[in-house]
Amino acid sequence: MTAGPVLPQPATGDQDDVPEPVYGSVQDWVIQHFLPMYRRPLGGEYRWCPQWWRHAEAITRLTALWQSWEAMRLQPGTGTANWLRDHLDHQLPVLLGRGGPFAQCSEDEHIDPRIAAADRPPPGWWDTGDGDTDATRPVPLRSGQP
């Protein structure tokens, strides 16, 4: 007999206590909650990779879903409904969509995603003119620059 998904439980105890998460890792949440709960017909519109953990974007999105689920499950009343609306309903089409991280995979096969190439900019590209080459600060475009 397979265990069903763990349903959210209301918070109890002292408000100063930090509640223990239901799941100890994103892997536990994906296998024990996400996959059994949010089933979609695979192929066509929805994609999944059995080696989901080999896709950095999927790990990031699933971790965000897990962490927000852990926090919002404790909110009384509409916490879970808000999580569905604000988090799952936005992430699911991106995560499982035709153009998402599993676009090249099938439910039977993992295909490593291609990493986009990036050329180094020419020397001085990020130079602000004041001797500062801080690449995190926007630089005004110079004439002839794309």
Would you state the pLDDT for residue 132? 59
How wide is the angle at C-alpha 37 spanned by C-alphas 32 and 39, nearest 5°? 115
Residue 26: Cβ within 10 Å count: 20
Residue 71 in tokens: 């926090």
Determine, yes or no, domain membership for 78: yes
| 104-133 as b/e: b if 16+ CB within 10 A | ebeeeebeebeeeeeeeeeeeeeeeeeeee
| Count of domains forming the chain | 1
**Rounded to an integer, what distance in angstroms lies between the CA atom of residue 33 and that of residue 88?**
13
pLDDT at 120: 92
116 within a domain of the structure (yes/no): no
Give average pLDDT by consecutive 10-residue segment, the chain, 146 residues: 50 65 94 89 86 95 96 90 93 94 90 88 86 55 50
- Write down the pLDDT at residue 2: 46
DSSP-assigned beta bridge partners for residue 109: 106
Q: Does residue 11 belong to any structural domain of this protein?
A: no
Residue type, 138: P
> Does residue 8 belong to any structural domain of this protein?
no
**For residue 134, is it within any domain?**
no
- Quote the pLDDT of residue 106: 87
**Nearest of 32, 14, 20, 36 to residue 73 by alpha carbon:** 20
Q: Tell me whether residue 57 is in a domain.
A: yes
Residue 49 domain-assigned (yes or no): yes
Answer whether residue 51 is part of any domain: yes
Q: How many CB atoms lie within 10 A of CB 46?
A: 18
3-state secondary structure of 32: helix
What 3-state class would DSSP assign to 46? strand
Domain extent, residue 45, equals 26-96
